[in-house]
Chain A
Amino acid sequence: MDWQSIFLSFKLATVTTLLLLGICLPVAWWFSRKKSFYKIVLEAIFSLPLVLPPTVLGFYLLVCMSPNSLLGKYWALLSDENLVFSFNGLVVGSVIYSLPFVLRPIQNAFESIDIKLIEMAATLRYSPKEIFWHIYLPLSKPAILTAAVLGFAHTLSEFGVVLMLGGNIPGKTRTVSIAIYDAFENSNYHQAHQLALFMLILSFIILFIVYGLNRKWNYIL
Protein backbone atom coordinates (compact mmCIF):
# COMPACT_ATOMS: atom_id res chain seq x y z
CA MET A 1 0.00 0.00 0.00
CA ASP A 2 1.34 3.43 -0.96
CA TRP A 3 0.84 5.11 2.44
CA GLN A 4 3.01 8.04 1.42
CA SER A 5 0.58 9.10 -1.32
CA ILE A 6 -2.42 8.55 0.93
CA PHE A 7 -0.89 10.69 3.67
CA LEU A 8 -0.01 13.41 1.15
CA SER A 9 -3.53 13.43 -0.30
CA PHE A 10 -5.05 13.83 3.16
CA LYS A 11 -2.57 16.51 4.14
CA LEU A 12 -3.36 18.46 0.96
CA ALA A 13 -7.13 18.06 1.42
CA THR A 14 -7.01 19.08 5.09
CA VAL A 15 -4.86 22.19 4.52
CA THR A 16 -6.98 23.19 1.51
CA THR A 17 -10.27 22.73 3.39
CA LEU A 18 -9.13 24.77 6.39
CA LEU A 19 -7.89 27.58 4.16
CA LEU A 20 -11.12 27.50 2.15
CA LEU A 21 -13.28 27.75 5.27
CA GLY A 22 -11.21 30.73 6.37
CA ILE A 23 -11.75 32.39 2.99
CA CYS A 24 -15.33 31.36 2.26
CA LEU A 25 -17.04 32.15 5.59
CA PRO A 26 -16.36 35.91 5.40
CA VAL A 27 -16.78 36.04 1.62
CA ALA A 28 -20.13 34.23 1.77
CA TRP A 29 -21.23 36.54 4.58
CA TRP A 30 -20.29 39.58 2.50
CA PHE A 31 -22.02 38.17 -0.59
CA SER A 32 -25.19 37.36 1.34
CA ARG A 33 -25.49 40.95 2.57
CA LYS A 34 -24.69 42.82 -0.66
CA LYS A 35 -26.62 43.40 -3.83
CA SER A 36 -24.09 45.39 -5.87
CA PHE A 37 -22.96 44.90 -9.46
CA TYR A 38 -19.45 43.93 -8.29
CA LYS A 39 -20.95 41.06 -6.35
CA ILE A 40 -22.28 39.52 -9.59
CA VAL A 41 -18.88 39.90 -11.28
CA LEU A 42 -17.09 38.34 -8.31
CA GLU A 43 -19.63 35.54 -8.02
CA ALA A 44 -19.11 34.66 -11.67
CA ILE A 45 -15.31 34.65 -11.27
CA PHE A 46 -15.46 32.54 -8.10
CA SER A 47 -17.69 30.00 -9.87
CA LEU A 48 -15.39 29.57 -12.89
CA PRO A 49 -13.69 26.42 -11.52
CA LEU A 50 -17.10 24.71 -11.65
CA VAL A 51 -17.25 24.91 -15.44
CA LEU A 52 -13.63 25.15 -16.65
CA PRO A 53 -11.79 21.95 -17.59
CA PRO A 54 -9.06 21.26 -15.01
CA THR A 55 -6.49 21.51 -17.79
CA VAL A 56 -7.46 25.13 -18.52
CA LEU A 57 -7.16 25.98 -14.86
CA GLY A 58 -3.94 24.01 -14.53
CA PHE A 59 -2.45 25.72 -17.56
CA TYR A 60 -3.17 29.25 -16.36
CA LEU A 61 -2.04 28.44 -12.83
CA LEU A 62 1.18 27.05 -14.23
CA VAL A 63 1.71 30.27 -16.21
CA CYS A 64 0.94 32.42 -13.16
CA MET A 65 3.11 30.44 -10.78
CA SER A 66 6.14 29.77 -13.01
CA PRO A 67 9.51 31.09 -11.71
CA ASN A 68 9.40 33.79 -14.42
CA SER A 69 6.04 35.17 -13.27
CA LEU A 70 5.57 37.87 -10.65
CA LEU A 71 4.01 35.49 -8.12
CA GLY A 72 6.56 32.75 -8.78
CA LYS A 73 9.49 35.19 -8.47
CA TYR A 74 8.43 36.59 -5.09
CA TRP A 75 7.51 33.16 -3.77
CA ALA A 76 10.98 31.87 -4.68
CA LEU A 77 12.56 34.89 -2.96
CA LEU A 78 10.58 34.34 0.23
CA SER A 79 10.69 30.56 0.52
CA ASP A 80 13.78 29.34 -1.38
CA GLU A 81 11.49 27.06 -3.36
CA ASN A 82 9.62 27.19 -6.63
CA LEU A 83 5.85 27.31 -6.40
CA VAL A 84 5.33 24.90 -9.27
CA PHE A 85 6.07 21.22 -8.62
CA SER A 86 5.86 21.85 -4.85
CA PHE A 87 3.32 21.02 -2.14
CA ASN A 88 2.59 24.72 -1.58
CA GLY A 89 1.85 25.11 -5.29
CA LEU A 90 -0.63 22.24 -5.02
CA VAL A 91 -2.31 23.96 -2.07
CA VAL A 92 -2.72 27.21 -4.04
CA GLY A 93 -4.11 25.30 -7.03
CA SER A 94 -6.46 23.21 -4.88
CA VAL A 95 -7.81 26.23 -3.03
CA ILE A 96 -8.73 27.88 -6.32
CA TYR A 97 -10.04 24.67 -7.88
CA SER A 98 -12.27 23.69 -4.91
CA LEU A 99 -13.37 27.19 -3.93
CA PRO A 100 -16.89 27.14 -5.45
CA PHE A 101 -17.63 23.78 -3.82
CA VAL A 102 -17.14 25.34 -0.40
CA LEU A 103 -18.46 28.82 -1.14
CA ARG A 104 -21.79 27.86 -2.74
CA PRO A 105 -23.33 25.80 0.10
CA ILE A 106 -22.27 28.33 2.73
CA GLN A 107 -23.53 31.29 0.71
CA ASN A 108 -26.84 29.53 0.04
CA ALA A 109 -27.26 28.84 3.75
CA PHE A 110 -26.42 32.42 4.71
CA GLU A 111 -28.82 33.82 2.12
CA SER A 112 -31.65 31.58 3.33
CA ILE A 113 -31.41 32.90 6.91
CA ASP A 114 -34.59 34.79 7.66
CA ILE A 115 -34.03 38.56 7.71
CA LYS A 116 -36.59 38.64 10.52
CA LEU A 117 -34.17 36.80 12.82
CA ILE A 118 -31.36 39.19 11.86
CA GLU A 119 -33.53 42.20 12.69
CA MET A 120 -34.62 40.58 15.94
CA ALA A 121 -30.98 40.19 17.00
CA ALA A 122 -30.16 43.75 15.90
CA THR A 123 -32.95 45.15 18.06
CA LEU A 124 -31.53 43.10 20.95
CA ARG A 125 -28.32 45.09 20.48
CA TYR A 126 -26.30 42.47 18.61
CA SER A 127 -23.82 44.12 16.22
CA PRO A 128 -23.43 42.72 12.68
CA LYS A 129 -20.27 40.87 13.79
CA GLU A 130 -22.02 39.34 16.80
CA ILE A 131 -24.94 38.38 14.58
CA PHE A 132 -22.48 36.48 12.39
CA TRP A 133 -21.25 34.44 15.38
CA HIS A 134 -24.60 33.96 17.11
CA ILE A 135 -26.96 33.49 14.17
CA TYR A 136 -25.22 32.93 10.83
CA LEU A 137 -22.77 30.29 12.08
CA PRO A 138 -25.04 28.13 14.28
CA LEU A 139 -27.94 28.19 11.83
CA SER A 140 -25.63 27.22 8.95
CA LYS A 141 -23.88 24.39 10.78
CA PRO A 142 -25.16 21.62 8.44
CA ALA A 143 -24.29 23.65 5.35
CA ILE A 144 -20.80 24.46 6.63
CA LEU A 145 -20.18 20.77 7.31
CA THR A 146 -21.43 19.88 3.83
CA ALA A 147 -19.21 22.57 2.34
CA ALA A 148 -16.14 21.36 4.23
CA VAL A 149 -16.72 17.75 3.17
CA LEU A 150 -17.33 18.73 -0.45
CA GLY A 151 -14.14 20.79 -0.46
CA PHE A 152 -12.20 17.96 1.20
CA ALA A 153 -13.52 15.26 -1.13
CA HIS A 154 -13.12 17.40 -4.21
CA THR A 155 -9.47 18.11 -3.35
CA LEU A 156 -8.89 14.42 -2.61
CA SER A 157 -10.24 13.42 -6.02
CA GLU A 158 -8.47 16.15 -7.98
CA PHE A 159 -6.32 14.93 -10.84
CA GLY A 160 -5.84 17.30 -13.76
CA VAL A 161 -4.72 20.38 -11.90
CA VAL A 162 -2.44 18.36 -9.61
CA LEU A 163 -0.81 16.62 -12.55
CA MET A 164 -0.15 19.86 -14.42
CA LEU A 165 0.98 21.88 -11.40
CA GLY A 166 2.76 19.27 -9.34
CA GLY A 167 3.82 16.50 -11.61
CA ASN A 168 4.56 13.19 -9.92
CA ILE A 169 7.18 13.61 -7.21
CA PRO A 170 6.79 10.95 -4.49
CA GLY A 171 6.27 12.44 -1.02
CA LYS A 172 5.96 15.92 -2.45
CA THR A 173 3.31 16.07 -5.13
CA ARG A 174 2.26 12.47 -5.83
CA THR A 175 -1.29 12.27 -4.48
CA VAL A 176 -3.42 9.10 -4.46
CA SER A 177 -5.15 9.88 -7.74
CA ILE A 178 -1.75 10.39 -9.42
CA ALA A 179 -0.41 7.23 -7.79
CA ILE A 180 -3.36 5.21 -9.11
CA TYR A 181 -2.85 6.57 -12.62
CA ASP A 182 0.89 5.91 -12.34
CA ALA A 183 0.34 2.32 -11.19
CA PHE A 184 -2.18 1.75 -13.98
CA GLU A 185 0.21 3.15 -16.62
CA ASN A 186 2.90 0.78 -15.38
CA SER A 187 0.44 -2.16 -15.49
CA ASN A 188 0.73 -2.48 -11.70
CA TYR A 189 -2.97 -3.39 -11.41
CA HIS A 190 -2.64 -4.81 -7.92
CA GLN A 191 -1.52 -1.50 -6.45
CA ALA A 192 -4.08 0.46 -8.50
CA HIS A 193 -6.79 -1.83 -7.10
CA GLN A 194 -5.63 -1.41 -3.53
CA LEU A 195 -5.57 2.38 -3.67
CA ALA A 196 -8.79 2.70 -5.65
CA LEU A 197 -10.74 0.43 -3.30
CA PHE A 198 -9.31 2.21 -0.26
CA MET A 199 -10.48 5.58 -1.66
CA LEU A 200 -13.90 4.19 -2.54
CA ILE A 201 -14.59 2.80 0.93
CA LEU A 202 -13.19 5.84 2.71
CA SER A 203 -15.26 8.27 0.62
CA PHE A 204 -18.39 6.28 1.37
CA ILE A 205 -17.73 6.36 5.11
CA ILE A 206 -17.16 10.12 5.09
CA LEU A 207 -20.37 10.79 3.17
CA PHE A 208 -22.31 8.40 5.40
CA ILE A 209 -21.21 10.26 8.54
CA VAL A 210 -22.01 13.65 6.99
CA TYR A 211 -25.52 12.68 5.95
CA GLY A 212 -26.10 11.18 9.39
CA LEU A 213 -25.00 14.37 11.15
CA ASN A 214 -26.99 16.57 8.81
CA ARG A 215 -30.12 14.60 9.53
CA LYS A 216 -29.63 15.01 13.25
CA TRP A 217 -28.97 18.76 13.00
CA ASN A 218 -31.79 19.41 10.60
CA TYR A 219 -34.07 17.71 13.05
CA ILE A 220 -33.07 20.25 15.71
CA LEU A 221 -33.21 23.24 13.38
Chain B
Amino acid sequence: MSHSHIMLNAQPDTCNFYADLQLQNTNLLGIFGHSAAGKTLLLRSIAGLESKILGQVVINNQVWQDTPRRIFLPAHMRSVGYVYQEPRLLPHLNAKKNLDFALKRAGINSKVNYNTILQIMEITDFLKRYPHQLSGGQQQRVAIARAVLSNPAILLMDEPLSALDMHLKNDIIVMIKKLTENLKISVLYVSHDYSEIMKLADHITFVQHGSFSPVLAINQIYQHHSSTFLYEQDVPNIVLGQIRSPSATQMIVDTELGELLTENFGGFKTGQNIRVMLHPRDIGLCENISESKEKNIFPATIQYVETNRKPFTIILLSVGPARLICHLPPDKFFTSNLRVGMNVPIIIKKITIMNS
Protein backbone atom coordinates (compact mmCIF):
# COMPACT_ATOMS: atom_id res chain seq x y z
CA MET B 1 0.00 0.00 0.00
CA SER B 2 1.65 3.17 -1.10
CA HIS B 3 1.43 6.13 1.15
CA SER B 4 1.36 9.76 0.02
CA HIS B 5 0.81 12.80 2.10
CA ILE B 6 1.72 16.44 1.98
CA MET B 7 2.00 18.69 5.01
CA LEU B 8 3.48 22.06 4.24
CA ASN B 9 3.54 25.53 5.68
CA ALA B 10 5.35 28.78 4.99
CA GLN B 11 8.02 30.19 7.27
CA PRO B 12 6.53 32.35 10.00
CA ASP B 13 5.91 35.99 9.02
CA THR B 14 6.33 35.42 5.28
CA CYS B 15 3.03 34.46 3.73
CA ASN B 16 -0.03 32.53 4.72
CA PHE B 17 0.31 28.97 3.48
CA TYR B 18 -0.90 25.79 5.09
CA ALA B 19 -1.67 22.47 3.43
CA ASP B 20 -2.34 19.07 4.98
CA LEU B 21 -3.42 16.68 2.26
CA GLN B 22 -3.76 12.90 2.37
CA LEU B 23 -3.64 11.35 -1.09
CA GLN B 24 -4.55 7.76 -0.16
CA ASN B 25 -7.71 7.18 -2.16
CA THR B 26 -7.50 10.02 -4.61
CA ASN B 27 -6.83 9.50 -8.30
CA LEU B 28 -7.26 13.02 -9.55
CA LEU B 29 -7.34 15.62 -6.79
CA GLY B 30 -8.80 18.91 -7.98
CA ILE B 31 -7.29 21.94 -6.28
CA PHE B 32 -9.72 24.77 -6.65
CA GLY B 33 -9.22 28.37 -5.62
CA HIS B 34 -9.10 31.92 -6.87
CA SER B 35 -5.93 33.47 -8.23
CA ALA B 36 -3.07 34.02 -5.78
CA ALA B 37 -4.66 31.64 -3.26
CA GLY B 38 -1.54 29.44 -3.08
CA LYS B 39 -2.40 26.72 -5.61
CA THR B 40 0.74 27.11 -7.70
CA LEU B 41 2.89 27.42 -4.58
CA LEU B 42 1.68 23.99 -3.46
CA LEU B 43 2.63 22.32 -6.75
CA ARG B 44 6.01 24.09 -6.85
CA SER B 45 6.75 22.98 -3.28
CA ILE B 46 5.93 19.37 -4.12
CA ALA B 47 8.21 19.57 -7.18
CA GLY B 48 11.06 20.98 -5.08
CA LEU B 49 11.11 24.39 -6.75
CA GLU B 50 10.42 26.30 -3.51
CA SER B 51 13.10 26.06 -0.87
CA LYS B 52 11.36 28.34 1.65
CA ILE B 53 8.32 26.18 2.29
CA LEU B 54 8.70 23.91 5.31
CA GLY B 55 7.15 20.57 6.14
CA GLN B 56 6.81 17.08 4.77
CA VAL B 57 6.27 15.68 1.30
CA VAL B 58 5.93 11.91 1.05
CA ILE B 59 4.97 10.45 -2.34
CA ASN B 60 4.56 6.68 -2.82
CA ASN B 61 6.40 6.03 0.46
CA GLN B 62 9.37 8.12 -0.67
CA VAL B 63 10.31 11.06 1.53
CA TRP B 64 11.03 14.05 -0.71
CA GLN B 65 11.03 16.63 2.03
CA ASP B 66 11.07 16.47 5.81
CA THR B 67 12.21 19.76 7.27
CA PRO B 68 12.66 18.56 10.90
CA ARG B 69 14.93 15.77 9.61
CA ARG B 70 16.68 18.18 7.24
CA ILE B 71 15.64 16.24 4.15
CA PHE B 72 15.07 18.26 1.00
CA LEU B 73 15.51 16.53 -2.33
CA PRO B 74 16.31 19.00 -5.12
CA ALA B 75 13.83 19.21 -7.98
CA HIS B 76 15.81 16.97 -10.31
CA MET B 77 15.72 14.10 -7.81
CA ARG B 78 11.93 14.10 -7.47
CA SER B 79 9.93 11.95 -9.82
CA VAL B 80 7.24 14.42 -10.87
CA GLY B 81 5.55 15.15 -14.14
CA TYR B 82 4.76 18.85 -14.28
CA VAL B 83 2.39 20.45 -16.78
CA TYR B 84 2.58 24.22 -16.62
CA GLN B 85 0.18 26.90 -17.74
CA GLU B 86 2.42 27.47 -20.77
CA PRO B 87 3.71 24.51 -22.84
CA ARG B 88 7.41 25.25 -22.13
CA LEU B 89 8.63 23.19 -25.08
CA LEU B 90 12.29 23.50 -26.03
CA PRO B 91 12.30 25.78 -29.10
CA HIS B 92 15.29 24.14 -30.79
CA LEU B 93 13.77 20.65 -30.78
CA ASN B 94 10.84 19.31 -32.77
CA ALA B 95 7.86 17.71 -31.04
CA LYS B 96 9.33 14.20 -31.22
CA LYS B 97 12.63 15.30 -29.71
CA ASN B 98 10.83 17.26 -27.00
CA LEU B 99 9.13 14.00 -26.07
CA ASP B 100 12.44 12.12 -26.20
CA PHE B 101 13.83 14.73 -23.80
CA ALA B 102 11.44 13.30 -21.18
CA LEU B 103 11.44 9.69 -22.36
CA LYS B 104 15.17 9.41 -21.60
CA ARG B 105 14.25 9.90 -17.94
CA ALA B 106 11.60 7.19 -17.83
CA GLY B 107 13.91 4.36 -16.80
CA ILE B 108 13.75 0.72 -17.81
CA ASN B 109 10.79 -0.17 -15.61
CA SER B 110 8.59 2.50 -17.11
CA LYS B 111 4.96 1.45 -17.13
CA VAL B 112 4.22 4.12 -19.70
CA ASN B 113 3.45 3.02 -23.22
CA TYR B 114 4.83 5.55 -25.69
CA ASN B 115 2.44 4.81 -28.55
CA THR B 116 -0.64 4.75 -26.33
CA ILE B 117 0.19 8.15 -24.88
CA LEU B 118 0.75 9.64 -28.33
CA GLN B 119 -2.54 8.24 -29.57
CA ILE B 120 -4.53 9.47 -26.58
CA MET B 121 -3.07 12.96 -26.93
CA GLU B 122 -3.51 12.83 -30.74
CA ILE B 123 -0.04 14.11 -31.54
CA THR B 124 1.17 11.46 -33.98
CA ASP B 125 0.52 13.70 -36.99
CA PHE B 126 2.88 16.55 -36.17
CA LEU B 127 5.85 14.93 -34.43
CA LYS B 128 8.34 16.41 -36.88
CA ARG B 129 7.17 20.00 -36.43
CA TYR B 130 8.92 22.56 -34.27
CA PRO B 131 7.07 24.32 -31.43
CA HIS B 132 6.71 27.56 -33.41
CA GLN B 133 4.93 25.60 -36.14
CA LEU B 134 2.30 24.25 -33.71
CA SER B 135 -0.88 25.87 -32.38
CA GLY B 136 -1.26 26.58 -28.67
CA GLY B 137 -3.49 23.55 -28.19
CA GLN B 138 -1.08 21.25 -30.03
CA GLN B 139 1.86 22.54 -28.00
CA GLN B 140 0.03 21.93 -24.75
CA ARG B 141 -0.88 18.39 -25.81
CA VAL B 142 2.80 17.69 -26.47
CA ALA B 143 3.63 19.18 -23.06
CA ILE B 144 1.12 16.92 -21.31
CA ALA B 145 2.48 13.85 -23.14
CA ARG B 146 6.02 14.89 -22.22
CA ALA B 147 5.19 15.16 -18.52
CA VAL B 148 3.66 11.69 -18.56
CA LEU B 149 6.40 10.03 -20.63
CA SER B 150 9.00 10.63 -17.92
CA ASN B 151 7.12 7.99 -15.90
CA PRO B 152 6.52 10.17 -12.84
CA ALA B 153 5.29 9.07 -9.42
CA ILE B 154 2.87 11.98 -9.37
CA LEU B 155 1.51 14.26 -12.09
CA LEU B 156 1.18 17.95 -11.26
CA MET B 157 -1.00 20.03 -13.55
CA ASP B 158 -1.06 23.78 -13.01
CA GLU B 159 -3.93 25.36 -14.92
CA PRO B 160 -2.95 23.45 -18.07
CA LEU B 161 -5.98 24.65 -20.05
CA SER B 162 -6.30 28.25 -18.95
CA ALA B 163 -4.64 29.66 -22.08
CA LEU B 164 -6.87 27.71 -24.49
CA ASP B 165 -10.23 28.31 -26.18
CA MET B 166 -13.37 26.75 -24.73
CA HIS B 167 -13.85 24.12 -27.44
CA LEU B 168 -10.20 23.04 -27.22
CA LYS B 169 -10.52 22.79 -23.45
CA ASN B 170 -13.26 20.19 -23.66
CA ASP B 171 -11.27 18.08 -26.13
CA ILE B 172 -8.21 18.08 -23.92
CA ILE B 173 -10.25 17.38 -20.77
CA VAL B 174 -11.43 14.16 -22.43
CA MET B 175 -7.81 13.31 -23.31
CA ILE B 176 -6.60 13.97 -19.76
CA LYS B 177 -9.35 11.75 -18.46
CA LYS B 178 -8.34 8.88 -20.75
CA LEU B 179 -4.69 9.43 -19.89
CA THR B 180 -5.15 9.25 -16.13
CA GLU B 181 -7.38 6.18 -16.39
CA ASN B 182 -4.76 4.52 -18.56
CA LEU B 183 -1.85 5.33 -16.24
CA LYS B 184 -3.34 4.88 -12.78
CA ILE B 185 -1.13 7.67 -11.55
CA SER B 186 -1.95 10.16 -8.82
CA VAL B 187 -2.74 13.58 -10.29
CA LEU B 188 -2.98 16.99 -8.66
CA TYR B 189 -4.94 19.32 -10.91
CA VAL B 190 -4.97 23.03 -10.12
CA SER B 191 -7.59 25.33 -11.58
CA HIS B 192 -9.61 28.44 -10.85
CA ASP B 193 -12.27 27.13 -13.22
CA TYR B 194 -14.69 24.87 -11.32
CA SER B 195 -16.02 23.32 -14.57
CA GLU B 196 -12.66 21.69 -15.41
CA ILE B 197 -12.36 20.29 -11.91
CA MET B 198 -15.94 19.08 -11.73
CA LYS B 199 -15.44 17.14 -14.96
CA LEU B 200 -12.07 15.62 -14.05
CA ALA B 201 -11.63 15.29 -10.31
CA ASP B 202 -12.73 12.48 -8.05
CA HIS B 203 -11.66 14.43 -4.95
CA ILE B 204 -11.30 18.12 -4.33
CA THR B 205 -9.72 20.62 -1.99
CA PHE B 206 -10.50 24.30 -1.81
CA VAL B 207 -7.80 26.90 -1.23
CA GLN B 208 -8.47 30.24 0.34
CA HIS B 209 -5.74 32.71 1.36
CA GLY B 210 -3.18 29.90 1.43
CA SER B 211 -5.21 27.46 3.50
CA PHE B 212 -6.26 24.15 1.96
CA SER B 213 -9.53 22.55 3.00
CA PRO B 214 -9.58 18.82 3.87
CA VAL B 215 -9.81 16.51 0.86
CA LEU B 216 -13.43 15.71 0.00
CA ALA B 217 -14.97 13.30 -2.49
CA ILE B 218 -16.40 15.21 -5.42
CA ASN B 219 -20.00 14.19 -4.61
CA GLN B 220 -19.67 15.14 -0.96
CA ILE B 221 -18.54 18.73 -1.08
CA TYR B 222 -21.67 19.98 0.66
CA GLN B 223 -21.64 17.48 3.53
CA HIS B 224 -21.23 20.33 6.01
CA HIS B 225 -22.92 23.67 5.87
CA SER B 226 -19.55 25.21 6.68
CA SER B 227 -18.25 23.98 3.30
CA THR B 228 -16.50 26.80 1.49
CA PHE B 229 -17.95 25.60 -1.80
CA LEU B 230 -21.37 26.67 -0.62
CA TYR B 231 -20.53 30.29 -1.31
CA GLU B 232 -18.93 29.79 -4.70
CA GLN B 233 -21.13 30.89 -7.54
CA ASP B 234 -21.70 28.47 -10.40
CA VAL B 235 -20.23 25.37 -8.74
CA PRO B 236 -22.51 22.53 -9.84
CA ASN B 237 -23.74 19.69 -7.65
CA ILE B 238 -22.15 16.37 -8.58
CA VAL B 239 -24.08 13.15 -8.18
CA LEU B 240 -22.55 9.81 -9.11
CA GLY B 241 -24.66 7.26 -10.91
CA GLN B 242 -24.94 4.35 -13.28
CA ILE B 243 -26.80 4.11 -16.58
CA ARG B 244 -29.73 1.73 -16.65
CA SER B 245 -31.66 0.70 -19.77
CA PRO B 246 -31.02 3.39 -22.34
CA SER B 247 -33.77 3.51 -24.99
CA ALA B 248 -33.72 5.41 -28.26
CA THR B 249 -34.92 8.66 -26.74
CA GLN B 250 -34.68 8.27 -22.99
CA MET B 251 -32.61 6.62 -20.32
CA ILE B 252 -32.79 5.98 -16.61
CA VAL B 253 -29.85 6.77 -14.37
CA ASP B 254 -29.55 5.20 -10.93
CA THR B 255 -28.13 7.80 -8.57
CA GLU B 256 -27.76 8.53 -4.89
CA LEU B 257 -30.94 10.61 -5.23
CA GLY B 258 -32.96 7.81 -6.81
CA GLU B 259 -33.96 7.20 -10.40
CA LEU B 260 -33.29 10.09 -12.74
CA LEU B 261 -35.08 10.10 -16.05
CA THR B 262 -33.35 11.92 -18.85
CA GLU B 263 -33.21 12.08 -22.59
CA ASN B 264 -30.59 9.87 -24.25
CA PHE B 265 -27.72 12.12 -25.29
CA GLY B 266 -26.15 9.17 -27.08
CA GLY B 267 -22.97 7.26 -26.46
CA PHE B 268 -23.92 5.71 -23.12
CA LYS B 269 -24.06 1.99 -22.37
CA THR B 270 -25.96 0.03 -19.73
CA GLY B 271 -24.00 -0.22 -16.50
CA GLN B 272 -21.70 2.66 -17.36
CA ASN B 273 -20.58 4.79 -14.41
CA ILE B 274 -21.35 8.43 -14.95
CA ARG B 275 -21.37 11.69 -13.07
CA VAL B 276 -24.41 13.94 -13.17
CA MET B 277 -23.99 17.70 -12.92
CA LEU B 278 -26.90 19.63 -11.48
CA HIS B 279 -26.65 23.37 -11.55
CA PRO B 280 -28.03 25.03 -8.37
CA ARG B 281 -30.37 27.19 -10.45
CA ASP B 282 -31.82 24.10 -12.16
CA ILE B 283 -33.17 22.65 -8.90
CA GLY B 284 -36.61 23.89 -7.95
CA LEU B 285 -38.51 23.57 -4.67
CA CYS B 286 -42.10 22.52 -5.26
CA GLU B 287 -44.25 23.69 -2.39
CA ASN B 288 -47.23 23.07 -4.63
CA ILE B 289 -47.83 19.32 -4.50
CA SER B 290 -49.60 19.18 -7.86
CA GLU B 291 -46.25 19.58 -9.54
CA SER B 292 -45.28 16.17 -8.23
CA LYS B 293 -46.83 14.46 -11.24
CA GLU B 294 -43.83 15.50 -13.21
CA LYS B 295 -40.67 13.43 -13.54
CA ASN B 296 -37.48 13.78 -11.50
CA ILE B 297 -39.08 14.83 -8.25
CA PHE B 298 -37.39 13.79 -5.02
CA PRO B 299 -38.23 14.27 -1.35
CA ALA B 300 -35.74 16.60 0.32
CA THR B 301 -35.11 18.26 3.68
CA ILE B 302 -33.84 21.80 4.08
CA GLN B 303 -30.62 21.65 6.13
CA TYR B 304 -29.40 25.21 6.05
CA VAL B 305 -30.31 28.55 4.51
CA GLU B 306 -27.90 31.35 3.75
CA THR B 307 -29.60 34.64 3.02
CA ASN B 308 -26.70 37.04 3.33
CA ARG B 309 -25.09 36.29 -0.02
CA LYS B 310 -26.10 38.13 -3.16
CA PRO B 311 -27.60 37.58 -5.68
CA PHE B 312 -29.20 34.34 -4.45
CA THR B 313 -30.48 32.78 -1.32
CA ILE B 314 -28.50 29.57 -0.96
CA ILE B 315 -30.39 26.54 0.29
CA LEU B 316 -28.63 23.34 1.37
CA LEU B 317 -30.79 20.25 0.93
CA SER B 318 -30.40 16.62 1.91
CA VAL B 319 -31.84 14.06 -0.47
CA GLY B 320 -31.22 10.61 0.98
CA PRO B 321 -27.48 10.42 1.60
CA ALA B 322 -26.73 13.20 -0.89
CA ARG B 323 -26.43 16.90 -0.20
CA LEU B 324 -27.37 19.43 -2.87
CA ILE B 325 -27.54 23.16 -2.98
CA CYS B 326 -30.04 25.20 -4.86
CA HIS B 327 -30.30 28.93 -5.49
CA LEU B 328 -33.52 30.88 -5.09
CA PRO B 329 -34.12 34.55 -5.80
CA PRO B 330 -34.23 36.26 -2.35
CA ASP B 331 -37.76 37.69 -2.83
CA LYS B 332 -39.09 34.27 -3.70
CA PHE B 333 -37.55 32.84 -0.55
CA PHE B 334 -38.86 35.51 1.80
CA THR B 335 -42.43 35.27 0.50
CA SER B 336 -42.45 31.48 0.94
CA ASN B 337 -42.94 29.47 4.13
CA LEU B 338 -39.65 27.65 3.69
CA ARG B 339 -37.51 27.18 6.78
CA VAL B 340 -34.76 24.91 8.04
CA GLY B 341 -35.89 21.36 8.88
CA MET B 342 -38.83 21.42 6.54
CA ASN B 343 -39.48 18.52 4.16
CA VAL B 344 -40.09 19.72 0.66
CA PRO B 345 -40.02 17.94 -2.71
CA ILE B 346 -37.49 19.18 -5.23
CA ILE B 347 -37.70 19.05 -9.00
CA ILE B 348 -34.61 18.70 -11.16
CA LYS B 349 -35.18 20.65 -14.34
CA LYS B 350 -31.99 20.08 -16.27
CA ILE B 351 -28.99 17.78 -15.95
CA THR B 352 -25.69 17.21 -17.69
CA ILE B 353 -24.18 13.74 -17.79
CA MET B 354 -20.59 12.81 -18.42
CA ASN B 355 -18.31 9.81 -18.00
CA SER B 356 -17.19 9.30 -14.46
Contact = CB atoms under 8 A, between A and B. Distances in A.
Partners in one complex: yes
A120 B88 contact: yes
A221 B76 contact: no
A120 B79 contact: no
B150 A138 contact: no
A50 interface: no
Interface of A: 116-117, 119-128, 130, 134-135, 138-139, 141, 220-221
Given A116-B84, A134-B101, A122 B92 contact: no
19 contacts: A116-B84, A120-B82, A123-B47, A123-B49, A123-B75, A123-B76, A123-B78, A123-B81, A124-B101, A124-B105, A124-B146, A125-B77, A125-B79, A126-B105, A138-B92, A220-B91, A220-B130, A221-B91, A221-B92
B90 interface: yes
Contacts of A124: 82, 101-102, 105, 146-147, 150
Interface size class of B (residues with CB under 8 A): 20 to 34
Interface of B: 47-49, 74-82, 84, 86, 88, 90-92, 101-102, 105, 130, 146-147, 150
A171 B303 CA distance: 99
Contacts of B105: 124-126
B325 to A, nearest CB: 38
Contacts of B88: 116-117, 120
A123 B101 CA distance: 12
B311 to A, nearest CB: 40
Contacts of B130: 220
Nearest to B150: A124
Given A120-B84, A134-B101, A220-B130, A125 B150 contact: yes
A122 B105 CA distance: 11
Given A125-B76, A125-B77, A126-B76, A116 B90 contact: no
Given A125-B79, A125-B150, A135-B90, 6 more contacts: A123-B48, A123-B49, A124-B146, A125-B76, A125-B78, A138-B92
